[in-house]
């Protein structure tokens, strides 16, 4: 089994792709697919069908996070330390 550089609950920065520069916490690591799900990043819409026996009888459009390849994220702590070595300004803390 492969060991990854991030794990659930760690804050990460997306370093490449359409979501580059976004930060969030890792919600889940998908080990088999080498992917991670990051909070607030790569949002997708999922359409649910109307069902009479569920809690959504009229159906709905649910927005949730999609997965990102693990090579496209870096631990925020490591990212910030590298930025400080380059002389870049410190990122704003939320």
| 11-86 CATH | 2.30.30.30
71 sits in the region (left: phi over 0; alpha: psi -120 to 50; else beta) called: alpha
1-26: average pLDDT: 92
- pLDDT tens digits along 44-93: 999 988 877 666 678 888 999 999 999 999 999 999 888 888 776 666 66
Please state the domain extents for the chain: 11-86
Lowest mean pLDDT among 8-12, 34-38, 77-81: 77-81
Q: With 0-12 CB in 10 A as exposed, 13-18 as middle and 19+ as buried, what is 64?
A: exposed
Tell which residue, 25, 28, 29, 1, has the closest CA to residue 14: 25
Q: Look at residue 93 in the predicted model and tell me its pLDDT.
A: 63
Q: Look at residue 94 in the predicted model and tell me its pLDDT.
A: 54
More confident residue, 50 or 6: 6
């Amino acid at each position: 089994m492969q060991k990854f550089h991030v794990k659930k609950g760690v804050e990460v920065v997306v370093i490449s792709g359409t979501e580059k520069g976004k930060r969030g916490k890792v919600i889940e690591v998908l080990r088999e697919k080498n992917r991670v799900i990051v909070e607030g990043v790569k949002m997708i819409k999922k359409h649910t069908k109307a069902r009479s026996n569920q809690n959504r009888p009229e159906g709905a459009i649910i927005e949730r996070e999609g997965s990102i390849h693990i090579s496209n994220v870096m631990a925020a702590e490591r990212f910030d330390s590298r930025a400080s070595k380059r002389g870049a300004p410190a990122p704003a803390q939320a």
